[in-house]
Amino acid sequence: MSATALVRDLRRELDEGGLRGSFLVRDLDTGEELGIEPELEFSTASLVKVPLAIATLERIRAGEVDGAEQVLVQPGRSDLPMHTGMSRFRHPAKVSVEDLLYLSTCLSDNTAADTLFEVTPPERVDAWLRSAGLRGITVRHKLRDLNETPADRLGPDQAHLAHSLAIGEGTAGRGHRIPQLDVTRASSGSARAFTDLLEALWRPSVIDPGIAARVRELMRGNVLRHRLAPDFTSDASTWSSKTGTLLNLRHEFGVVEHADGQAFAVSVLTESRVPAVHQPGAEALMARVARSLRDHLRAW
């Protein structure tokens, strides 16, 4: 099947499954790539935790921040099942800056991430991306701002109403009445922008080699493996990634490294038209589409 025919069929599958997405798969050695709307922007939710980690590690390397410094973290006191780590703590705790990086990146702990944003504010992270020449990713706010959506005000028993609002209140220009979903007000990015970031982490770039190695290690330790990981993990491959979820948005970007030496960057950002919190079918569909794109490139 030609690449054109494959993309056409995958677009149809996505539409039938109630998904629209920005997909891009890139061979990190040849630069060959295949995608679906790779420049389409989305609010990025927890994907920002990777640039946050890089910018913080750069400050540690420069001597501006002590990675061993113990920071007093107030408890998140969350009862939401999707929240992890200190977001569910009941009491204050002292945690080092470097351990906060682990909690933020590997466990996607929003409380840890917001504590890191106190160390390296969003504008510093955004400035680092610009200085590194990584365009297309914008970091505008802390993670706690994502906890003020209609879903948080309506409660779990009315979550479907919050998702209906998320689905129905967007504009053709990617604006939205819910600010956390508006790409002009929220942290935002596209599959192409996140693929460029992955390439900068996995191949020589302006990112310090030691920092790149540490971030790759953190992404390999990602414990959230229900989305793309089932289609990219095997005894002959390694999957390193970061997920992001907000209302009807489901994202993940990462790199699959094969035992034969090939490596592919995979970035997937999606929005669902189905007003439901739990959508295992959508998770499986986005993974299947991403793998189909990878399989086509791998066969070239």
Q: What is the mean pLDDT of residues 116-129?
A: 97
Which tens digits make up the pLDDT trace of 233-287?
999 999 999 999 988 899 999 999 999 999 999 999 999 988 888 889 999 999 9
Which tens digits make up the pLDDT trace of 42-73?
999 999 999 999 999 999 999 999 999 999 99
pLDDT grade for 189, boundaries at 50, 70 and 90: very high
CA dihedral over 213, 218, 221, 227, signed as positive or negative = negative
Measured distance CA(173)–CA(189) in Å, rounded: 14
Residue type for position 218? L
Measured distance CA(190)–CA(256) in Å, rounded: 19
Half-sphere CA count of 160, side-chain side, radius 13 A: 5
Q: What is the pTM of this model?
A: 0.91
The reported pLDDT for the residue numbered 157 is 61
Residue from 122, 118, 125 nearest 55 by CA: 125
The reported pLDDT for the residue numbered 166 is 63
Contacts 24+ apart (CB under 8 A), 93-98: 94/70, 95/70, 95/71, 96/67, 96/68, 96/69, 96/70, 96/71, 97/56, 97/60, 97/65, 97/66, 97/67, 97/68, 97/69, 97/71, 98/60, 98/67, 98/68
Give 244 or 180, the one with higher predicted confidence. Answer: 244
Length of the chain: 300
Which tens digits make up the pLDDT trace of 147-176?
555 555 555 565 555 656 666 556 666 667
Measured distance CA(153)–CA(191) in Å, rounded: 30
Token pair for residue 92?
């204050």
* Lowest mean pLDDT segment, chosen from 3-7, 126-130, 141-145, 191-195: 141-145
